[in-house]
Each structure stands twice: as structure tokens, then as C-alpha cells.
A and B are shown apart, each in its own frame.
Chain A
Amino acid sequence: MLIKIAWRNIWRSKGRSMVVMGSIIVGIWALISAVGFMNGFMVGYMADIINHDISNIQIHNPEFKSDQEVKYVIPDGKKKVNEIRKWTEVEGATSRIIVSGMIASARKGSAVQIRGVDKSNEAKVTELDSLVNEGTYFDGIKRNPILLGKKLAEELKVKVKSKVILTFMDESGTPISARFRVAGIINTSSVNLNEMTAFVLNEDIGRLLGSYEIHEIAILTMPRIEEEVVLNKYNDLFKGDLVETWTQVAPELELLNEMYGSMMYVLVFIVMMALVFGIVNTMLMAVLERIRELGMLMAVGMTRIKVFLMVLLETIFLGILGSPIGLFFGWLMMYYYTTNGIDLSAYSEGLESFGYSSILYPYVDSSTYLIVTVSVIITAFIGAVYPAWKAIKLKPVEALHAI
């Protein structure tokens, strides 16, 4: 009977119930959308950097980290990378020769990190080929092809097939200059790749340096394989190298990840607070409107706990009704935008300078829907506690004579 009364009570004032349900619907929809957009911004940004730049694990000579000199190579690096590629936990591994130097065009010069890459394996690990926006992935140029970031190319005022000069020092400190020709221009949201990196082939930079020893191994682990597994395996097999996961290579990303988590909590808290006050206000009205009836219920023998439960049940019913609708709208919006993306190209200049993509692909994982729904229902429950408490604080004799 309690359930029956509570259920029918919510239809007594349809407008008011719609307001509570509307708050719940908008609350769920807003949270799902907010999580989706934040994921699109932050996780997309992080995934971009991890997938196209850092990869899951990097290996260096321990000295290389503090002083990026040519001499700090990984001993037997090529053998090690060949071995790693055989591991079942690893999807791909690539070797890099890294030198700091200068790049100069006919117009301008700039400091860059010259990154020698293994053409096919780099494509497997970082999908560098997919970032090529103009020109080709090292193809079509017979001697010394080079890939530049879009921003760097713009700064140097070079195009595909333009000539650039790379200047760097070999292990003995002898300056080396060589002419390269732009094979392709890459476009990525990573500021590092876009503005400060020049990609060349390992064989070209190795030939110029007089050594094909490598400075960096980048590893892409298999999906759902913890980086620690590969890291431990490497350390067991090979001693003396510095093996780091992406969180160690780029601690700022880890920090960003934590900050993003905190921002989510703040956002959820703000939405929930708005919802709580909306529900408290509306349910309080529902209680105050029925003072005489509640007084009668307690006068004839309905216990205070049952009156309390009745008011709570009314809100919970509204939550149960509103949640699927809010979920549906949230899911619908995410479904559309996850597929089509949101074109933010009007703001792309500003966004890209911060490392964000101009097309935003929001997404939420399935657990988010559950968490948001449960959170909103709990919030609705909390919002109903005060009106329910007000109801049981009524004195029957006073409530019965309330106007």
C-alpha cells in the first residue's frame, strides 16, 4: 500500500513531478555529456601523445635522460629491439637514433630534435605514416628524405620537396651538415612533434653520424597488457638500461590525468548540488502541500518511519522514471558525436597551440552510464531526505488543523 500511495502521489501534481524528473533527466544528460566532452578533450589529447609520440614504454641509456649526447647509446640496441618484437605481450617495437641540432631553410633556422626512425616499425608503433598530411611517408625522395611538423614547416616557410639543412655534431663533436628534402608534412595535435621534431630515416642519420647505434627503443604493448609486465620482463632479461612507462617519460601527462579526475569530481559535485537543491525545493513543496494528509496518516496510526519512506519512495520513483530517459538522451548524443565528431576548426588555431585536435570525438565508456545513473539516484535520495524529515517532524494535532 505504501508503494501504491507513493506511486499515485507522484501523479497528483504532474507538473511538479515533471520538474523533478526533468532535473534528473537533465542531470544525467549533462553529466554524460560533460564526461564525454572532457574525455574527448583530455583522453584524446593524452592518447594522441602516447600513441603518436611517446608510446607505452621507452628504453634509453641511463645517461641519455639527463644529457642527450650522441655517445649515450643503448648497448646492443638493435639486437634488443629484434628480441622484443618476438614477445607476445608486444605489438610493435621500433628503434630511434636521436640527435639535437639545427634545421635551416633558405629563409629561417630553428633548433630541433632530429629523430631517426625505422620506417616500417615506426609506422607500426606510432602510426607516424598516418599523420602525414601533405606529401608522402619518406617516399618519392631518393636521398635524405625528411618529415616535418606543420608548424615547423610554416616557420621555416618550406613545402613538400623543399630543401632544408640539418646541422648536428657527431660523437667526437665534429659538426656535420647535410641537405635533406621534405618528403612529407605531418599534422598532429602534439606540440612536440608539430614544432620541434624532424623525422629522418635511421640509415641516413646513421650514415652521417658514422654509427648506427640507437638511442631509443619505443614499445607498443598489446591491448590490455599492463606496461609493468613488459617493463619487468625487459629488466629481467637485459640489465643496465633505463626502462620507463609513459607515466615516467611524461609525468606531466600523469599529472594531467589526475587533474582531469579531480575536475570530473568537481563537475559531478556541482551538477549534483544543483540537482539536490532542485529536488529538495520541489519535494518540500509536495510535503507542505499535504500537511493535513500527513497529519491524518500519523493520527490514524501510520508510523513516522512509514511516512518517511513514503516521501523517499516518491523521489526514488521519479529517479527511476527519469534515469532511463536521461540515459537515452545522453547515449544518443554521445552516439552521434562519437561517430561524427564535433568540428571545432573555427577555434583550431587556439586549440592546436595547446595540443588539442580541431575535431573533438567525445566518448564515454559503459561504466560511466552506470556510475552517473547511480550517482543521480543517490543524489535524488539525499534530496528527498530533508523533505521526508520535515514530514515526520509534523505533529499530527497541528498538521490536522493546518490551513
Chain B
Amino acid sequence: MSIIKAENINKTYNENTIPVHALNHVNLEIDRGEFTAIVGPSGCGKTTLLNILGGLDQPTTGKVTISDTEITSMKDSELIDFRLKNIGFVFQAYNLIPVLTTAENVEFIMLLQKRPKEERDQRGMELLREMGIEEKARQRPSQLSGGQQQRVAVARALASKPQFVLADEPTANLDSTSTTQLLDIMAKMNEEEGATFVFSTHDQRVIDKARRVVTLEDGKIVSDEKR
């Protein structure tokens, strides 16, 4: 059963001046538990597609349905709440809150969800343990390596028990060792917790790990390969 359904998505920037068609009649369905990579050259529309799937951006035409809820017709405030409850995000630049410790960063989303403190503490530490950075719980992001920061970001994305996690070029800023470690963790979370991951990438190591590879070119899906 698909949890993400994108139907006939078009996205055009600068409609009134020089139009740029970032996405062109994109149709995509992603099932629960998938580990999907959206790949393609720079400027092919990967990030735009991810932003639209995550409710951060609106398509020019078309609709996105997440578990039977159409998000493209939602108001801004409804979208914020929807994202909080249903979607986890991992960003290329980690985007952790620099003034909070590692543990606080992970707990932050649960706090926004108004989860009880005990649950927050327990889930936060459990995720940090899974990510192999339990001992860094009291350190601030600036005291961690890039790989460690991205693992915190993955833990934060999973903390809210989202329906799926969207990761935009999660390994772009990481070295080879950190990339491997992060991919192993994400694959493990996918297998053990059934977490659904959708990530944009052009990193071959990530593509090799993916169980489904959707290729975009000039805003169109040119191949959709399941392994």
C-alpha cells in the first residue's frame, strides 16, 4: 500500500517572466517500508520533488496524497502540523539547533509533539544508541564531526515516528567512512523499524544501497528500478 502518491506533478518557477519547468508530469507512488533513492544530475528536479512530497513546497499543478490525506490543498498552518506528525526530514547541511545538545536536538521534535518527558528521554537515548553516538548526548553539534551530526539529524527525523523520512542529499557533505556508517544505520532502521526512507542523491554509494532507484532527468521520471 502506498503512503506517498504524487499525481501528475508539475512545478514551474518564474511563471510570469522566463518559466523554468522543474517538474514535468511526475507520477510517483512509494510504499511503506521502501528505501528509495531519487537520482539524477544537478538541476533535474530532485530537491523540488522532495520538497513537494514533504509539503514544504506546492506544485504548480497536480496533487500529493500522504496516507489518503491530500496535502497539496492544505493551509500553511495545517501543513506545519501535518509535517510534525507524519514526516521526518534530513537535510544536506544537517541543520541541527546549535544551542541544544545532541540529546535535546533529538528530543526537540517530540517536545513539539507534546510527548511526555519519560518517553522523550527514553526514545531519544534509544535512537542515539542506535546511531552509535550515545556518548555524545550532552555535546553540542559544534563538538561533533559531520558524520556524527548527520546521524543526530537522522535520529531527530525518526524521533517523531514519522510515516516516512525525506533526506535531501544526506551524504553530500560527508566523507566516505561517514557515508558508509550513515547508510548502514539508515538501512538498519529501514529493516528493523520499517522506517520508510526517500532520499535524493547523486552519490553512487547511496544509489548502490537503495532498493528502489527513481531517475529524474529534466523534471521527468525516466526510469524507476526496483531491486
Contact = CB atoms under 8 A, between A and B. Distances in A.
A82 interface: no
Contacts of B130: none
B137 to A, nearest CB: 16
Nearest to A5: B99
A71 B76 CA distance: 87
B99 A303 contact: no
Contact of B95 (A1, A12, A293, A304): A293
Contacts of B83: 299-301
B85 interface: yes
A396 interface: yes
Q: Which of A4, A9, A11, A396 counts the most B-chain CB atoms under 10 A from its CB?
A: A396
Contacts of B89: 296, 299-300
Nearest to A303: B80
Contacts of A292: 93, 95
Nearest to B113: A301
B16 interface: no
Contact of B109 (A5, A9, A300, A401): A300
A301 B112 contact: yes
A250 interface: no
A294 to B, nearest CB: 10
A397 interface: yes
A301 B160 CA distance: 11
B100 A5 contact: yes
Nearest to B84: A301
Contacts of B80: 298, 301-304
B222 interface: no
A300 B51 contact: no
B112 A302 contact: yes
Contact of B97 (A11, A293, A301): A293
Given A296-B89, A301-B112, A301-B160, 13 more contacts: A4-B104, A293-B97, A300-B84, A301-B81, A301-B85, A302-B80, A303-B80, A303-B81, A304-B76, A304-B77, A304-B80, A397-B56, A400-B95
Interface of A is mostly: helix
Contact of B56 (A1, A293, A304, A400): A400
Contacts of B97: 5, 293, 296-297
A8 B57 CA distance: 31
A161 to B, nearest CB: 80
B47 to A, nearest CB: 8
Nearest to B112: A301
A400 B57 CA distance: 12
A344 to B, nearest CB: 51
Contacts of B160: 301
A9 B98 CA distance: 9
A12 B51 contact: no
Contacts of A11: 99
A100 B113 CA distance: 87
B77 A303 contact: yes
B111 A1 contact: yes
Interface in A297-320: 297-304
B99 A12 contact: yes
A12 B93 CA distance: 19
B56 A12 contact: no
